[in-house]
Amino acid sequence: MKLLFASTNPHKVREVHAILRTLRIEVIGLDAVEHAGREPVEDGDTFAANARIKAVHYARATGRWCLADDSGLAVDALGGAPGVRSARYAGVGEDRLERDLANNARLLRELEGTPPADRTARFVCSMCLADATGTVVAETSGSMQGVIACEPRGHNGFGYDPLFVLPQFGCTSAELPPDKKNVLSHRGDALRRIARLIRELAPLF
Ligand code: IMP
Predicted confidence (pLDDT) per residue in 163-192, tens digit:
999 999 999 999 999 999 999 999 999 999
Does residue 123's CB lie within 6 angstroms of at least one atom of ligand 1? yes
- Determine the average pLDDT of the residues in 10-32: 93
Catalytic residue status for 179:
no
Distance CA 11, CA 204 (A): 26
Does residue 158's CB lie within 6 angstroms of at least one atom of ligand 1? yes
Per-residue pLDDT for 34 more than 90? no
Which of 125, 109, 126 lies closest to 185, judged by CA?
A: 125
- Determine the average pLDDT of the residues in 118-140: 98
Could you tell me the CA-to-CA distances from 58 to 184, 186, 190, 198 in Å, in that order?
28, 22, 20, 18
Q: What is the pLDDT of residue 190?
A: 97
Give the Å distance between the CA of 12 and the centre of ligand 1.
8
Does residue 146's CB lie within 6 angstroms of at least one atom of ligand 1? no
Give the Å distance between the CA of 27 and the centre of ligand 1.
18
Q: Can you list the domains of the chain with their CATH numbers? A: 2-204 (3.90.950.10)
Q: Which atom of ligand 1 is nearest to the CA of 173?
A: 20
pTM reported for the whole predicted model: 0.94
Give the Å distance between the CA of 63 and the centre of ligand 1.
26
DSSP 177: -
For 70, the 3-state DSSP assignment is strand
Distance CA 201, CA 203 (A): 6
Q: Which amino acid appears at position 40 of this protein?
A: P
Q: Return the residue whose CA atom lies nearest to atom 11 of ligand 1.
A: 159
- Average pLDDT of the chain is 96
Does residue 89's CB lie within 6 angstroms of at least one atom of ligand 1? no
Distance CA 22, CA 26 (A): 10
Predicted confidence (pLDDT) per residue in 57-72, tens digit:
999 999 999 999 999 9
Could you tell me the CA-to-CA distances from 66 to 6, 40, 59, 171, 182 in Å, in that order?
7, 14, 5, 34, 20
For 124, the 3-state DSSP assignment is strand
